[in-house]
Structure 1
């Protein structure tokens, strides 16, 4: 049996010293590397904080859709659960309430400007029907999204809802409407269609390429194909609506793309004065005192809001509790899409 050659204690000490020296060097290198990484991270965080006051990256749009609705607390219309509001469209079993809209989450600075306006108006003593309720936050104080409506409150049966969303997506993809931005033009009060509620709104300037009117035209045409009423625009007959289905049929008959596109946009209406974003509401018509104070606030505090620019990248379709994002395509040249002028 061969003898095992054990190292002497001196050799152990030497090896131990060598290993310790190597370990210390590696630890030192690691510490220096981590130090450099922390410096880089600090510089990056500083840059990000300069761009975003919160120091946090924005949440993706689809994240908010996960919490787009609250749990039902009653199986019937109960105004006491909603600040006195009454359901405008009666609930029908098997009918899916649907809304088409553009969503906007104000940044921190924008939120503060809007909160200041609402706080000034809340400082006026009001009777109960005219009590002002903010759209900026939930009952728990969490920020809420604001929106521009592209449809009235409408509803689809179970057999229609998926087909409608597919048709609208197809229309949006073919519309040639690119991402755009808009600014605000004023502060005003408007009533809903039934005059059951009044809304404090931000009026919107007409954006470049008439993008809002085009989006509304696409949405109105799509909902009218399914027998639903349009928003703002007057209802048109199927012969003049120039629906997506009509367009495909005409194109299949060798009708030129330019002619069919021109026909589709032939009844585009300019309702720029109707577009708005609601920031607060009341049940009663605003009193003379509230209207006077609103005009004063519009003069004194609206100028900072007027400098805000809102960038729009998509529209949303909410059917029941399901939200579908429909992006505007930046790689499509404006006014050269399938349905463009």
Structure 2
């Protein structure tokens, strides 16, 4: 059953709520309901995971069902599509700010591309807020025999890496294409966190992905094939025993991390690029006030989402990678 976000009516929006409103009046009751709603705690992360799948309405790639988008990674029967990412549900205020930024770019005149249309990632067709994410892997795929071992290996490696929760801030807006240049994305650029947590999590993800014969993200696709059978790899407690060796290839890829908030099938016009720069400059302070708390990594295999929490404390001498 879908969750529907009902908007308030015009009449309700015009009701003035003040500290002197009598709670026995209709206005007072409305104010009391609003205050109670605002005090509700956020839904737990695992609740959203239950609704992470979408209904499959076609057995083949049909761009007409997805706003003209084409599948970049072909579906292979028997393979489980897999993606590693950091999920983010902005607060109501943050959603409002991001919606304003996207809306200011939607109706840009485009003499160079008359079919340019900007689609938002922020809300569903019903207006319900959607989660955003930072990718930690390419779209990859595993066989039924591999998928559970892969997730177990990722869980062990993240726990052993001792990468603790951290906060991420944003620097501005930009337009970037996908590798095939079949879509362009309006993205929030990220500021490198003090802990270098994003680079470390990407390094951890890439190491596990490559050990399982898949290409890494933001790096040359050097694939390491394993000669071990699934049963043998399941017994391995950790990918490496030497902490120094594990982190020696850690690269600073801070400039490539981003969160997509809108997309288009057509290359952005010069007018749209210039307007994006102007919007970024005019809303610089607002953008910098938005903050993402990273506390877990998610692995989506097929329609199953596994949340892997980052260790909140590390016992001295117990960490595998010593960070």
TM-score when scaled to structure 1? 0.78
Q: Does 1:182 align with 2:168?
A: yes
Task: Flag the 1:68–1:248 CA change in 2: closer, same or farther, 3 A.
Answer: closer
Q: Among 209, 224, 230, which residue is 2:195 paired with?
A: 209
Q: Which moved more, 1:128-137 or 1:203-212?
A: 128-137
Q: Output one character per residue of 1:43-72: Cα deviation in whole Å (capped at 9) or x when no partner.
A: xx99x95xx982321000000011112110
Q: Secondary structure at the match of 2:196?
A: helix
Q: Output one character per residue of 1:73-119: Cα deviation in whole Å (capped at 9) or x when no partner.
A: 00000000000000000111101000000000010110111000111
Q: Which portions of structure 1, spanning 4 or more consecutive aligned residues, are displaced by more than 6 angstroms?
A: 243-247, 333-336
Contact preservation (8 Å) 2:156, 2:237: no
Aligned length: 283
Task: Flag the 1:279–1:220 CA change in 2: closer, same or farther, 3 A.
Answer: same
Provide the rounded CA distance (Å) in 1 between the counterparts of 2:275 and 2:318: 46
Contact preservation (8 Å) 1:178, 1:333: no
Q: Output one character per residue of 1:197-256: Cα deviation in whole Å (capped at 9) or x when no partner.
A: 1000000000022100000000000000111000002344649xxx999995874xxxxx
1:262 offset after TM fit, Å?
Answer: 0.4
1:124 offset after TM fit, Å?
Answer: 1.3
Q: Output one character per residue of 1:251-285: Cα deviation in whole Å (capped at 9) or x when no partner.
A: 4xxxxxxxx11011111111000000000000111
Provide the rounded CA distance (Å) in 2 between the counterparts of 1:322 and 1:202: 27
Q: Secondary structure at the match of 2:268?
A: coil
Task: Flag the 1:76–1:236 CA change in 2: closer, same or farther, 3 A.
Answer: closer
Provide the rounded CA distance (Å) in 2 between the counterparts of 1:277 and 1:129: 24
Task: Flag the 1:335–1:309 CA change in 2: closer, same or farther, 3 A.
Answer: farther
Provide the rounded CA distance (Å) in 1 between the counterparts of 2:270 and 2:81: 35
Q: Does 1:88 align with 2:72?
A: yes
Residue 197 of structure 1: aligned partner: 183
Q: Does 1:144 align with 2:130?
A: yes
Provide the rounded CA distance (Å) in 2 between the counterparts of 1:244 and 1:295: 49
1:336 offset after TM fit, Å?
Answer: 7.3
Task: Flag the 1:57–1:157 CA change in 2: closer, same or farther, 3 A.
Answer: same
Q: Does 1:166 align with 2:152?
A: yes
Q: Does 1:120 align with 2:75?
A: no
Task: Flag the 1:129–1:165 CA change in 2: closer, same or farther, 3 A.
Answer: farther
Contact preservation (8 Å) 1:188, 1:200: yes
Provide the rounded CA distance (Å) in 2 between the counterparts of 1:112 and 1:336: 43
Residue 75 of structure 1: aligned partner: 59
Q: Among 95, 102, 110, which residue is 1:111 paired with?
A: 95
Task: Flag the 1:335–1:317 CA change in 2: closer, same or farther, 3 A.
Answer: farther
Gaps of 5+ in 2: 1-30, 226-232
Q: Secondary structure at the match of 2:38?
A: coil
Provide the rounded CA distance (Å) in 2 between the counterparts of 1:68 and 1:94: 20
- Higher share in helix: 1
Provide the rounded CA distance (Å) in 1 between the counterparts of 2:155 and 2:78: 23
1:125 offset after TM fit, Å?
Answer: 3.0
Provide the rounded CA distance (Å) in 2 between the counterparts of 1:264 and 1:73: 43
Provide the rounded CA distance (Å) in 2 between the counterparts of 1:149 and 1:312: 13
Contact preservation (8 Å) 2:79, 2:141: yes
Residue 205 of structure 2: aligned partner: 219
1:186 offset after TM fit, Å?
Answer: 1.5
Alpha carbon RMSD of aligned pairs, Å? 2.6
TM-score when scaled to structure 2? 0.82
Provide the rounded CA distance (Å) in 2 between the counterparts of 1:321 and 1:314: 18
Provide the rounded CA distance (Å) in 2 between the counterparts of 1:299 and 1:79: 35
Larger Rg: 1
Provide the rounded CA distance (Å) in 1 between the counterparts of 2:209 and 2:47: 27
Gaps of 5+ in 1: 1-44, 252-259
